[in-house]
Structure formats: structure tokens, C-alpha cells
A and B are shown apart, each in its own frame.
Chain A
Amino acid sequence: MILFIQTTLNGLVLGGLYALAAVGFSLVFGVLGIVNLTHGIFVIAGAYGSLWLFVNLGLDPLLAIVPVGLALFAVGYVYQRTIIHYAISRASLVASLVVTFGVAMMARNLLQIVFGPDFQTITPFYSFSRITMGALQIDVVRVVALGSSLVLLMILALVLSKTHFGRAIRATAQQPLAAELSGLNVKRLHGLTFGVSAAMAGASGAIIGIVQPFSPASEVLWTLNAFIVVVLGGIGSPAGALVGGLLLGLINSYTAQYIGSSLTTAMMFLVLVVMLLVRPNGLLGNAFGETR
């Protein structure tokens, strides 16, 4: 029983990270209709950014979320306004899939050249302390990770539902033409959405860095995770990302505990394929309705 609770706990912590890492992907998928295969690069870039700040300036990874997030926001905005926008207007939405894939390859290679291909971790002072509750044990970093993921997801959900900016994004997602007719600058909003997506990914990367080792090659994994989370939970909403993320985390940790740790990826993809066949819009459906 203790083992089961412990496994569940680990799964939930992992799930919080998956949710945060995927929410930006989900947003871009829902609003722009683009499957952004560069998303994992944003996550890993966030991790490397926070590693660099930690090693060179001694900045705590949790504080590093702010500069890393801002930097990646800028990168995401510029990236969408230039390359992605050009690819969509010249070719097609499917072309954006290929373009983002190509950019991901280049970025991975650049990260390998700059930081080396090896696995890295960020180890702040609290990384080895644990909280013990009876027979249950949990690392402090994991609690911190889950907490900050939930806070960031909450902030994004509030921004999307309460602010003018959030309303504008949702309007753009539902009816781009109608949004433009009502005086919204759709191109700029697409850029901003992409920026927010990249910033959330970067923030998740900074947190992931303290929980798990990462290398430039792990970007593929994070992109795929994001896709699975979206397929499980639903497109476009922080709630969908949270549901999908937690489910994925639980699947991952139960499989590792009860079936075999080498089969986690296989199990994740099995769930993905089954889910695609049964309910391709995710458990919570598309947050932006039937328009796409």
C-alpha cells in the first residue's frame, strides 16, 4: 500500500512537470493550429539557460524562471513572426511541421556544440534534502517542482480567462477572421501566443533541470511528451494540459514500478495510439470549440 501511494506521489510530481512543459505546445496547437516540433528545444534551452545562470551567477533555478522565461518569450515571438509566419504564408500548415523540425535539428546541434552532448543537472542547496511523512519520502526538489508548476499553470489559466489579452487570444483561436474584423491584430497575437508558449516551456525547463538530468538530445522526448499530453488531455487549455500531464505522469510511474522501467516509453506510446484511435480530441476536448 505504501509502495502504491509512493508511486502515485512520484507520478503526480512528474505529471506536474509534464503539464507545465506541454501547456505552451497545447496553446500553440489550439490557437495557431501548428504542431511545433521545436517545443522540446524551448524546454531544454530553458534548462540550459537556468544552468548557465546557476553556475555563473549563482542564481537559484526557481528565480531563474523569470529571466529565462523573458528571454524565451522574445525568442518565441521573433521565431513566429519571421520563420513560422513565412512558412505558413508561403507553403502550408504541414510545412510548419517540417520547418519546426528542421529548426529543432539545428538548435539541438548548436546546443551540443555550445554545452556538449553530455547529461547535465542543476543542483541547488536543497537538492538532496527530503521530507519524510511516516513511511513516505519525497524529495524537496520534487515538492518545489510540483508547486511551481501548479502556480505557473494557474497564472496562465487566469490570464487566459480573465484578462483582455487572454480574451483576445481565445477569440483569435475560435475565429481568426472575425477577430481581425473586430480590430484585433491577429498576426501580433499569434506572435505573442508563441512567445507565451516558449516562455512557459523555458520555465518548465528551469524546473526540470533540478529534478532530472537533461541533454540536448532529450528535446525529442519533451516534444513527444508534450504531444502525448495534448492528445490525452485536450487541446488549447491549461486544464487539459494538467489532466493530460498528470495522467502521463501516473502512467509513467506505475509502468516503471509494476511492469518494468524499460517499458515506460512503450507504454506511453501505446496509450497515445489507443487514445488517438478512441478519442483524438483528448479527454477535455478542444478548448476552442469545433472551429478547427
Chain B
Amino acid sequence: MNRSFPILIGLLLVAIALVLPLFMGAFYTRVLQLFFFTAGLAVAWNILGGFSGYWSFGHTVFIGIGAFSAAHLVSQFGTFGTGPASMIIPVLLSGAICGLLATILAYPILRLRGIYFAIAMLGVGQVVSELVTNISWFGGGSGVFLPSPVPSGVRPEPFYYYIFLGLLVLSFALAAWIRHTRFGYALLAIREGEDTAMMLGVPTERYKIVAFVLSAMLVGFMGAVYGYSVGYFTSSTVFRLDFSLNMIVFCLIGGIGTLYGPVIGAAVMLFITQVLLSRFLDIHLLITGAMVVGIVLLMPGGILGFIAEKRRDRRASHTAEEGTT
């Protein structure tokens, strides 16, 4: 299997995704839109959490900052034109703001490791959310508006479907590129042993910060677009603990630190919760919890880790048989 094979498969999937909305109803378009959004978030989380091993439990803070930045940019400087083009500048600037804040935040907070980093990020998420809610200038308590960029005559579901698809492809391409560069290998080295990596000359501090900022910017873009797709939101709409947790859970189920894991995890979980169990809203937590526990106990490497293990086993038994004959 050569290296262009996965790229071909990927292009094929994207092509299918491009034409799908023509044949689907609004409900399934929305489910797939949600899938692209959450899978994109998980891919972005994975750049920091999966590759470098820094599990952020508060990544939703960048969804919130992204969405609120976009809303404030629009209310301060006008709508930047009409139609889909009006989104471009606010979304890009919001992502940049997230990146800037992440850079400032990174210096102190990335000194913490493991569980302490995780909980500190959770704390950052809570603090920012409360500040945005309670300082009236931010308007997080009463809510803020974003004008709809959907052109007239187009239904909103397919419109955001394509935008989130684009963002997922962007995030995935970036993650894939990172994974195969020197930078990506350095992040993996940090995950496996930060002190060793440092000793071997990896500029750990700078690389961690770059990973954190890239991850935050991607989440910020998606947060801003999410803000547009909702139209009106308060801080509890965007600073949602379950966003943060879903990013982790999806990566975990698919296979943390792998390239395809977050997307597969998001697909599996959304299929189970949104399609199979859409009628049983009150036991969603139970199902998600059971999935998480089951995955960690039965296949600690996630779905992809499980497949890789099985394949290794088969190969091992293969060579063993060849050895005996």
C-alpha cells in the first residue's frame, strides 16, 4: 500500500460528502454538520492532546472566545459586507485572537504537566466563562447576536454543512502535515518523555507552545463559525463543558494521538448518540459513560489501537507458523 492510497480514499470521501446534501433531508444534514464540527474540534484537540500528550480539559474556552470575538468584531466595526463573504474577516480575526490569547496563556500554563495541566485548563475555561458572563461589556449573560451570512434562497443546513466540512478538511490536513514533519515527531517525543526529548535537543517549550496555539486557533475558527450558525448565543451556549469533554472522548474512542482516531471516534459516538439513541435523550450520559469505560478497559488504544494490535497479533502468528514449517 503506497502513500497516495489514503489520500485517494480521503478525496473520495470528501467528494461523496460534497454531493450528499443533495440527497439528504434536513435532519441528516444537521447530524453530519454536527459530525464535521465535533470531529474538527477533536482533530484540533488531538494536535495538542494526542501528539504532545498535554490533555486539555478546557478547550471549549477557545470556542467561546472565538464566537464572542466574532460577535464583538461585528458589533464594533459593522458587518464586513453581506452574504458568505462577510464571515471571512471576523472568523479569521477571531481565530487570531484565540491564537494570541493562547500564546499569552501558554507561557505559564504549559509548565504544568499531566493531570495538573488538565485541571488548570479546566480552571481557565471556568474563569473565562464566568468573566464573560458577569462582566456586562462582554454581554455573555444577556447574549450576543451575529447576523446570518446565509445567502437568500439557500437553506442554512447545507450552507453550514459545507463550511464545517471545509474546516474539518483544513484541520485534518494541518494535523496530517504536522504528523509527518520534524515538528510532529518532536511533539511525539515530548509525549513519550519530555525530559529525554529536551536532553536530545528538542526545543520542547517552543514546540509545545506552537502546538497549543495552532490547536487553539483551529478551535477558534470553528467557534466563530459555530457562533454564526447559532446566530444568538449566551456564554452557556459556547463555554460548554461537554464540548471540552467530547473532544477528549472522541479522540479516546478513535485512538488518541493517531491521525484518523478523532474522526472515527466522532463518527462512532455521534452515530450511537444522535442516530441510534436519538429517542432516549435522558440516558445519553449513561451511554457515553459506559462507552468511555468500556473503551478504556477493553481497548485502551481506542478503535485504531485495537485494530493495530489485532493486526500485529496476526502477523506474529503468521511468522510463527512460517517458522515451524
Instruction: Give A residues with C-beta under 8 Å from B.
Output: 35, 83, 86-87, 90-92, 94-95, 97-99, 101-110, 112-113, 220, 224, 227, 231, 260, 262-263, 265-266, 269-270, 272-273, 276-277, 280
List residues of chain A with CB within 8 A of the CB of B109: 273, 277
User: Quick check: is B112 within 8 A (CB to CB) of the other chain?
Assistant: yes
List residues of chain A with CB within 8 A of the CB of B127: 266, 269-270, 273
User: Quick check: is B282 within 8 A (CB to CB) of the other chain?
Assistant: yes
List residues of chain B with CB within 8 A of the CB of A109: 282-286, 289
User: Can you list 24 contacts pairing A with B, beta carbon distance less than 8 Å?
Assistant: A35-B119, A87-B296, A91-B297, A95-B300, A97-B118, A99-B293, A99-B296, A99-B297, A101-B289, A102-B292, A103-B293, A104-B289, A105-B286, A105-B288, A105-B289, A105-B292, A106-B290, A106-B293, A224-B122, A262-B134, A269-B126, A273-B109, A276-B112, A276-B119
List residues of chain B with CB within 8 A of the CB of A273: 109, 120, 123-124, 127
Contact B290 A276 (CB under 8 A): no
Q: How far is the CB of A229 from chain B (nearest CB, A)?
A: 12
Q: How far is the CB of A7 from chain B (nearest CB, A)?
A: 20
Residue of A whose beta carbon sits closest to that of B301:
A91
List residues of chain A with CB within 8 A of the CB of B300: 90-92, 95
Residue of A whose beta carbon sits closest to that of B113:
A280
User: Quick check: is B12 within 8 A (CB to CB) of the other chain?
Assistant: no
Contact A277 B111 (CB under 8 A): yes
Q: How far is the CB of A82 from chain B (nearest CB, A)?
A: 10
Q: How far is the CB of A271 from chain B (nearest CB, A)?
A: 9
Q: A90-B297, A95-B296, A276-B120 are in contact. List 17 more A-B contacts (CB 8 A).
A: A35-B119, A83-B293, A87-B296, A91-B300, A99-B292, A102-B292, A102-B296, A106-B285, A106-B290, A109-B285, A220-B241, A231-B119, A260-B134, A263-B134, A276-B119, A277-B109, A277-B111
Contact A266 B116 (CB under 8 A): no
List residues of chain B with CB within 8 A of the CB of A104: 289
Contact A113 B123 (CB under 8 A): no
List residues of chain A with CB within 8 A of the CB of B55: 94
Residue of A whose beta carbon sits closest to that of B114:
A94
Docked complex Cα distance between A280 and B114 (Å): 12
List residues of chain A with CB within 8 A of the CB of B131: 266
Docked complex Cα distance between A160 and B131 (Å): 41
Q: How far is the CB of A286 from chain B (nearest CB, A)?
A: 13
Q: Size range of the interface on B? A: 35 or more
Q: Which of A90, A105, A263 contacts B285 (CB 8 A)?
A: A105
Docked complex Cα distance between A225 and B161 (Å): 40
Contact A272 B292 (CB under 8 A): no
Residue of B whose beta carbon sits closest to that of A91:
B300
Q: How far is the CB of B322 from chain A (nearest CB, A)?
A: 31
List residues of chain A with CB within 8 A of the CB of B296: 87, 91, 95, 98-99, 102
List residues of chain A with CB within 8 A of the CB of B111: 277
Q: 3 tightest CB-CB pairs across the interface, nearest first?
A: A105-B289, A102-B292, A106-B289
Docked complex Cα distance between A102 and B123 (Å): 20
Docked complex Cα distance between A113 and B286 (Å): 10
Contact A35 B292 (CB under 8 A): no
Give the residues from 234 to 252 in chain B that come closer than 8 angstroms, CB to CB, to chain A.
241, 245, 248, 252
Docked complex Cα distance between A48 and B55 (Å): 33
User: Quick check: is B323 within 8 A (CB to CB) of the other chain?
Assistant: no
List residues of chain B with CB within 8 A of the CB of A112: 282, 285
Give the residues from 106 to 146 in chain B that come closer than 8 angstroms, CB to CB, to chain A.
108-109, 111-112, 114-116, 118-120, 122-124, 126-127, 130-131, 133-134
Docked complex Cα distance between A140 and B245 (Å): 40
Flag B133-171 by CB within 8 Å of A: 1 or 0 each: 110000000000000000000000000000000000000
List residues of chain B with CB within 8 A of the CB of A265: 126, 130
Contact B115 A97 (CB under 8 A): yes
Contact B292 A98 (CB under 8 A): yes
List residues of chain A with CB within 8 A of the CB of B118: 97
Residue of A whose beta carbon sits closest to that of B125:
A269
Q: How far is the CB of B120 from chain A (nearest CB, A)?
A: 5
List residues of chain A with CB within 8 A of the CB of B124: 269, 273
Q: Which of A87, A106, A108, A113 contacts B297 (CB 8 A)?
A: A87
